[in-house]
Structure 1
Amino acid sequence: MTEVQVGRTDLFVPRIGLGTAALGNFQQAISDSDAITVVDCALDSRIRYLDTAPLYGHGLAEQRVGRAVAKVDRDRLVISTKVGRLLRADAPRDETQYHDGVPFYLDVPPVGPVWDYSYDGIRRSVEESLERTGLDRFDVLLMHDPDDHLSEAATTGYAALRDLRSAGLVRAIGAGMNHSAPLAALVRACDLDVVLLAGRYTLLDQSSLADLMPACEEREVSVVIGGVFNSGILVDPLPGASFDYVPARDEVVAKAVAIRDLCRKYDVPLAAAALQFPLAHPRVSTVLIGARTVNELDADLTLLDVEIPRALWTDLWNAGLID
């Protein structure tokens, strides 16, 4: 749990953090008590960086994180949340949050996300997140999935975050997305400290090396990595395994199987290689573990102790399996 600096700020974060989408009933409903127990165990394991968002469980994840950390010294923690979506009872149905008619978040409160990257909307989002969590501040604020709202995110959205940072109300600002090209555009357009990239710098997909990673190198922006298992295919690449939260194409499964087979040559679990791989990049500050249960959390932490021979990375590169 060594710490690294976030961008050029005075904020330092541990290399491993806890992502909380799963604790907001992502693809599977869990109880409040089970979710809070996962956070408790993460804190007991010296994970003190928690990332959440209003979208996660339509407020559930923020509420559960707030209840879990209420008994912990706030100064020991680094907590990030996201802005750009307000939760409203009259929200129209957002088709991006469904697959085959099934919502990604199950058994959630009767509110839905409404896009709002206006200056006042960003400030309102922060206030509502503080109310849901019961916290007095966040350390990091990230614009959430502004793929189709880049103009607003780069102007009014960024201005609101910049002013919050200037006033000392937040220590680092940035954006979090599943696609690297629009993130790279925001890094070049705005003075960001950190970005959260999900799924595009993994053992299976390093497409962000073409755009985001060079931009972050140039601007000294830190990168937090989520989705290191690419929705599960880098745990067990069976036919029908998930990639980006939907069934993977045959060629994606085949590549994951080839990576797994090389890992087996060195007696390294595929999941261990997947979890450790992003940490080698000089711009990556933190990898988020997205555990849903205490057993998953324990298993992930055990993977960090696996010794991985340098020869494995060389073999993967020579085979054209990593960029």
Structure 2
Amino acid sequence: MSALAFGAAGIGNLYTEVTDEQAYAAVAAAWHHGIRAFDTAPHYGLGLSERRLGAALREHPRTAYTVSTKVGRRLEPADGTGDGTGDDRANGFAVPATHRRVRDFTADGIRRTLDASLGRLGLDHVDTVYLHDPDDHAEQAFREGYPALERLRAEGVVRRIGAGMNQSAMLTRFVRDTDVDVVLCAGRYTLLDQSALADLLPAARERGTAVVLGGPFNSGLLADPTPTATYDYAQAPQPLLDRALRLKSAAERHGTTLRAAALAFCAAHPAVTAVLVGARSAAEVDDCAAQFRTPVPPAFWEELRDTGLLPADAPVPGEARP
């Protein structure tokens, strides 16, 4: 995987509509910047993200990139007909509500969901499959879902298996109690939230499990901390907004940006193999790639530790990796 990965929720019309041309341009920009890891899911735009990503990648050799998708939300035609009315904005996506999501971590459900994803992507295999947000379905996910992924890996339908969640506790259980290859942890190891430092990241280091970090901007607050910014897809609480503004001021004092610092912090932990950033346009991809390459002065990290904005045991860029 490339150290910077492309999250394709945005080109599935997350929050707002994106044209086919804009989606293609975003993926093309990612390729131009050397990004070769792409993540999607049926949940993103009711399959729109997978269709657009597959179409954009079709012109490139299959061995030149990796694709991950997710299982656990099976898509069924709305009302059994596919003629759903209204839109899917209640679930965060500006697409017609032609399908509904069914939480399904059964072995049969996982195979059916993956087969449908392969069809939308236009691929005969994907590199990684994650159990998608099994928070409230832990028993079924561990008893049925995970063994199904093991069988798919043994058959060569997928190369790596894992789980993707917005929490670290259950991901730590996957790392310790199963043979997952990789976990995707969103929003729980950032400049605002280092909760994964207490459980998931040390467990992954011990087991040799790869960690992909999603949500490095906590869904927007660390990209642009304003009163209307979102944190974990909701209105940012005032204390977190205040903390983000302090981080931004520190970054500016040291001649860098909060975005660059947020990405650099995520990439600095030795358990992390890739940082996953969502983008909906070529301009956003260009900016993320530029920020990812921007060095952050050591004095910035020193100030964060000295002022309590960052715990002393959180690795920062430039420190020797054990």
Q: Does 301-310 or 18-27 show the bigger shift?
A: 301-310
- Give the gaps of 5 or more residues in structure 2: 81-88, 312-322
The answer on 1:45 being equivalent to 2:18 is no
Aligned residues: 303
Moved over 4 A (4+): none
Map 1:240-255 → 2, pairs under 5 A: 240-255=228-243
- Partner AA of 2:135 in structure 1: D
Aligned to 1:322: 310
Aligned to 1:159: 147
The answer on 1:197 being equivalent to 2:185 is yes
Counterpart pick for 1:116 among 98, 104, 115: 104
Aligned to 2:83: none
Between the aligned partners of 1:81 and 1:253, the Cα distance in structure 2 is 32
Map 1:15-94 → 2, pairs under 5 A: 15-90=3-78
Aligned to 1:272: 260
Q: CA RMSD in A?
A: 1.5
Aligned to 1:284: 272
Between the aligned partners of 1:320 and 1:72, the Cα distance in structure 2 is 46
Counterpart pick for 2:118 among 130, 142, 163: 130
Aligned to 2:210: 222
- Give the gaps of 5 or more residues in structure 1: 1-12, 93-100
**Alpha carbons 2:78, 2:98 under 8 Å: kept:** no
Aligned to 1:210: 198
Q: Aligned to 1:82, what secondary structure does the other structure show?
A: strand
Aligned to 1:96: none
**Alpha carbons 1:60, 1:108 under 8 Å: kept:** no
The answer on 1:150 being equivalent to 2:138 is yes
Q: Aligned to 1:160, what secondary structure does the other structure show?
A: helix
- How far apart are 1:44 and its partner, in Å? 2.1
Please give the TM-score of this superposition, normalised by the length of structure 1: 0.90
**Alpha carbons 2:50, 2:120 under 8 Å: kept:** yes
Between the aligned partners of 1:56 and 1:201, the Cα distance in structure 2 is 23
Aligned to 1:231: 219
Per-residue CA deviations over 1:26-81 (Å, capped at 9, x if unaligned) read 11111122112211221122211100000000100000011111111101010100
Please give the TM-score of this superposition, normalised by the length of structure 2: 0.91
- Partner AA of 2:138 in structure 1: L
**Percent identity over the alignment?**
44
Q: Aligned to 2:126, what secondary structure does the other structure show?
A: coil
**Alpha carbons 2:67, 2:126 under 8 Å: kept:** yes
Between the aligned partners of 2:174 and 2:100, the Cα distance in structure 1 is 26
Between the aligned partners of 2:239 and 2:157, the Cα distance in structure 1 is 46
- How far apart are 1:109 and its partner, in Å? 5.0
- How far apart are 1:106 and its partner, in Å? 1.0
- Partner AA of 2:196 in structure 1: S
- How far apart are 1:169 and its partner, in Å? 2.1
Q: Aligned to 1:253, what secondary structure does the other structure show?
A: helix
